[in-house]
Every structure is written in structure tokens, then in C-alpha cells.
Chain A
């Protein structure tokens, strides 16, 4: 009996030690959060935590806490968005907390959002894992007076205030034609290496590219072929080789897919045809850095996720301050990005995609 009790005590102690170890960590972030408590609804804070004092209801900029919620953590794309958001937060003198679930899963994201809503954050900037499943949660937040802005991946309109659109299909198509035009010095044969023949995004962009090529400025460019690498590395590589063999005078390959552009650049490099055939399209800096520096793909484009995070924070800031309500037609200033207007469909357009080349690629890490 005595031994049983002893065991019981030891077991309890062990568990408590482990738990306390867990709480040690809790102390650091919470204290930070507690020094800048969301000021709303102070009447409810009866069991105030140690550092908190009754705060005036007036919301000073320093008290604003915005949560930036990516699809999941550990993704350089979202980390870059966070860098942009932190830059905006520093400019505005507010706090942005970067909070994500460990997997890109709606169930987990909803749990996380519920804990953020419970903490009465001042705004939510979300990249949604499921446009529909997050609607009730977004509505809960808005009902509690928390602005909901989505970026990168939207919640359906009824579950958010504003969505920030990274680019339009037309804008994505245009930037790629412009790059091809530059790389071909205004004239020559170009070809497109796409994902699958049924990929809706790529097909929409290619449709716009074909229209843009009809414009007088681009009459020198001749689109000789469109091939499909199915977003598989090896197939894309072989399709790129095929293009170079079939069209000896080919000057530019446009690959509007991150798999295709890297495979094409590698094919050009392996064939020793750097400078004769140039690759451009949509890619990410980390994946394309090598080919930009070797000259196989001197420039390519993508929206800058850092700007997305930056703009999301500015949008929410103005909503919290009451400058705008998130209604179509609202205009606001977004620091280094300039002025923005909320469009009729409740979205904001980030702007033209960013072009990456040898001069700026080392500024990016995603």
C-alpha cells in the first residue's frame, strides 16, 4: 500500500514537471501578448492576468494585434509573406502574430482561428485551407467585430470582408509576353511549355497570351507551338528537348508553371544552348536562382508573397482604425505599395507580378 502511494506521488511529480516544462514556453509569448492586450471589452476581464491593468477603450495603434494565418507553417512562401507583414507592422507600430497549424488542413486551421477569435485579436489575415469550410468561422469572427481579410487563398465571400487577389489572369499572361519580348529582342520564334492540357489556370493564361500576341507591339513574336509537360519534371524536360530539336531557330520558351520552367532551364543548360534559347515564365526564386545566374533563364515572374502579407496588414489596419469598412469603392493607402481600391467583387488586386532577374533575385528566399 505504502509503495502504491509512493508510486502515485512519483508519477504525479513526473507529469507535473513535464507539464511545467511545457508552460515555461507559454510564459514567454503570453507575456508579450499580455503587455499589448486587445483593449476591447475590458469589462469581462475580471480575472486579469498579472501584467494587465484596466485599459481605456480607445484603441491606440500600439494595442492593435493582427494575426497572420498561413495555410501551414514551415513553408518558405508563407514565411516570405510574414516578412512583408512584419515590415508593415513595424511601419504602422502594430503587432502582427504569425500563427499557423502544422498541416494544411481545414479542421486544424479552424481550431487555430477559434483560439485567435477567443483571444479577441483585432484582425485576421488568412490564407484559407478550404474556401467553404472556413465560412462559419469567418462569420463568427466578423460577428464579433473582427475584420477578416484573406490572401493567397480565399474564403468564400460570405465568410470574409475582403480578399487580396495576387494577380489577374490577364496580368500574369501579359508579364510573360513582355519578358519573352525582351528576351527575344522584339522578334523571333517562341513556344509555350505548359502543365497538363486540361489545367484551367494555365489554359486561361495561354488564352490571354494568344490575345496579347495579336497586339501591334508583339507582332515580331511568332508562337510556333504549345506543348504539355503535365507538371512532371521528366516529361517537361523531354518536351523542352523536343521543342529545341523541332524548332532550331526557337528563341524563347515560356513555361507558365513552376515545374516546367525549371525543367526547361535545365534542358537548355544540359544542351549547352544557353544564350541561344532562353527560358522564362512563372517560377520561384529559390528554384530558379541557379538558372538566372547561369543565363539559361535570365528573368521570370511571380507575385511577391511578401507584398501580399504587407498589403493584408495595411488593409486590416485601416479597417480596425475605421478608415474603411471593406466595402467596394473604399480607398486606402498601403505604404510602399501605394494606393488601393476595393473592387466591386470585394477583392483587392495586388498589382502586376514581380519580375525576378539577376539584379534582385538574391533579395528573395522562397
Chain B
């Protein structure tokens, strides 16, 4: 899929080649990392390979994956992030819970929650595309606003008692084996659609074009504002959907549902090689990154390494993911070695050593405990 970046044809030729090398390289690296982590997990825990465990662990990451799909689009095209995704998730799940608790049929409540997600995304999109406000500020504001709405709807209460036909969204399995979670299939289907759209359609090419140079895209007839609007509406809709899946998995809704998840979503997306400066990245990378994060978290959980250690490892991976492409760019320029900026190399080396020391110290102090 990485090979289908026809949109970059117009870009300067030499730059295109090096960029693509980096991309290919990053996805390869993800595959290598996934393999390494899997092997470690197998070697360290006899419980890792049990299908029931893998399937239960997979369910824990599906909402994240669903929200990551539109986030990938937004980062590629707009070089910015939608900070309001987890709040939209919370507001829409709370809205559904509120309606359900007031006697509305669950599927009507679900439709209403999805519609609210579209409306919430449309408000973001309107402010960004037409009022021309910076997306980061707009979504920071709606991050607070939508979460506040969630609390206004449910307060201290929890909505509960959802019928099984609904909780199936988050807890159910395909077939009798109780092995393949429904939410996994839902995510994979959505990921396929998002991937195909990104890499084979005009709309997908628009995203890369805007991400590479918004002005140039505008002058060559790309309907930039409409695309922006669509992206935020899509993000709102998918966040609402993720909220429903999470509420179904919990079998209940509280207004703080999914609190803080936006940062995890952004982390997963960037780790997938979707450059935060826009214009590059593939859907495969994003999906591989989700798989990697899931494997690291589940594996470390099995090894009884606690939350903070997992956060440190994910953070390190993220630093590496930002660091490597820029080192790669540096090196893959012509005459790389002779041009190498000594102080930059020194900085990077020092940084890596400092991080390693920090991790070593941390682990040493933990084992003493």
C-alpha cells in the first residue's frame, strides 16, 4: 500500500525517494518490533498464546483503534490533532445512556448518540474550516466543552442495564468459539475501508496533497475546506461509535468514560509513522502500531510490570519513532557521512545514553522494592 503514493509524484523527485524509504523502513521496523515483542511474550509467559487471553486482551484496544482511523486522516492532511475525540466519546455514550435510562429504545438511543457525534464533529469542522480557527485551539475548547456536557447529562449517576443485544457490540464474539470478538471484526472492517479510501481514492490523494502543501492543493482545485469539514465530522462519528463500543464493553456509562484516551489515540497514531508534520504515513503503519502497543501492554501485564513501566516503554517507543525518521533523513541525504553534523549526532547519542541510564536506574530502584 505504501507504494501507491501517486500524489507525491508532483513533489521534488529526490525528496520523494528518501521520504518513501523512510516510510517503508518505519513499517518494517514496526514489524520487527512486533516480532521481537511477540517472541519475548511467548518466552516470558506461558499464558500469552492462549486464544482466550489474546481475544480478551484484543477487546481492550478496539475503541482505541476505531478512534485512531480518523485521527490518522487528520494528522496526514492537517498536521494537527483532534483533541476532543475522547470527550465526544464520553458525551455521546452519556447521551445514549441518558436516553436509555429515560425509557428510549436502545437502538434509537444509539442512532441519536451517533448523530450527536456527527454534530459535535461538524461543530469542530465548522470552526476550523470556515471560521478558520486553529484546530488545536478549537478542539482543546471542545475537549472541555463536550466532557462537561457528559457530566451535565449524567452527573454522578451511571447508566446501566443495557440489553445483551447492545452489549454484544463490546462483549460479544463471532461464532460459538468465544474467541473472535465482534469489536475486532468491526475494527478490521472499518480499518480496511479507511485504508482503501486513503490509498486508492481521490479523497485519499487530497489528504496527502493538503498535508504536503495546503496552498498548492487549494490552487490546484482541491476543495480544502470541504475536506476539513468531512474529516472532523468523520472523527466525531467514529468517536461516538467508539464510545458506544466502550459503553457496551463496560455494560454501563459514566460521564468520565474514556477520560484521557485522546492522548493514547494520538500516541498510537504517531507511533504508526504518521508524521505529525503532515503529508506522510500509511494506514498499515497505524494498524501495526496499535498491534505493537497492544502486545507491549498485554505482554508486560502478563509479566506483572505495572502501568508506569508500560508507560515508560510506550513513551520510549514514541521517542524512537520520532527520532529515527529524522536521523534517517539526515543520513540519507547525499554524502551523508561527510555532512554529518557532529553536534547533532552527539546530542542524539547523549540523549539515548541519558534515557538508558534513566531506565536502568528506574528498573534498579524497582527491583530493590
Which residue of B is nearest A117, CB measured? B56
Stretch at the interface among B186-194, B197-205, B274-282, B307-315: B307-315
Q: Would you call B320 an interface residue if the criterion is a C-beta within 8 Å of the partner chain's C-beta atoms?
A: yes
Task: Find chain A residues with CB under 8 A from B332 CB.
Answer: 3-4, 7
On chain A, which size bracket covers the interface? 35 or more
Give 1 or 0 for each of A116-158: 1 = CB within 8 Å of chain B CB.
1111100000000011110110001000000000000000100
Residue pair B359, A112 in contact (C-beta under 8 Å): no
- CB–CB B40/A19 < 8 A: yes
The answer to whether A8 and B25 touch across the interface, beta carbons within 8 angstroms, is yes
Question: Chain A contact residues: over half helix, strand or loop, or mixed?
Answer: helix
B interface: dominant SS: helix
Q: Which of B42, B258, B316 meets A107, CB within 8 Å?
A: B258
Instruction: Contact check, A30 vs B303: say whether CB atoms are below 8 A apart.
Output: yes
B interface, how many residues as a size bin?
35 or more
Residues of A within 8 A of B366 (CB): 25
Q: Assuming the A-B contacts A19-B40, A22-B313, A136-B251, are A103 and B301 also in contact, with contact meaning beta carbons closer than 8 angstroms in the complex?
A: no
A110 in the interface (beta carbon within 8 A)? yes
Question: Given A11, A28, A29, A105, which contacts B259 in the complex, CB threshold below 8 Å?
Answer: A105
Contact A26/B60 with A73-B307, A103-B260, A132-B250 known, Cβ cut-off 8 Å = no
B352 lies within 8 A of chain A by Cβ: yes
Residues of chain A contacted by B298 (CB below 8 angstroms) = 111, 114-115, 118
Which positions 1-40 of chain A face chain B at CB distance < 8 Å? 3-4, 7-8, 11-12, 14-19, 21-30, 33, 37
Return the contact of A111 from the options B47, B60, B260, B337 (Cβ within 8 A). B60
Select one of B160, B307, B360 contacting A103, CB under 8 A: B307
In the complex, the answer to whether B250 meets A18 with C-beta atoms within 8 Å is: no
Q: Which residues of A contact B305 (CB under 8 A)?
A: 25-26, 29
Q: Is A97 part of the binding interface, using a Cβ–Cβ cutoff of 8 Å?
A: yes
Question: Which residues of A have CB within 8 Å of B171?
Answer: 136
Residues of B within 8 A of A49 (CB): 43-46
Docked complex Cα distance between A275 and B36 (Å): 67
Report the minimal beta-carbon distance from A175 to chain B, rounded to whole angstroms.
27
Alpha-carbon gap, A112 to B306, bound state (A): 8
With contact pairs A8-B25, A73-B307 given, residues A111 and B324 touching in the complex (Cβ less than 8 Å): no
Q: Which 10 A-B pairs have the closest CB atoms?
A: A115-B301, A132-B252, A102-B307, A133-B250, A118-B53, A26-B303, A25-B363, A101-B307, A132-B158, A102-B308
A-B contact pairs, 12 of them (CB 8 A): A14-B352, A19-B37, A26-B44, A29-B304, A44-B46, A44-B50, A73-B307, A102-B311, A105-B259, A116-B301, A118-B298, A132-B158
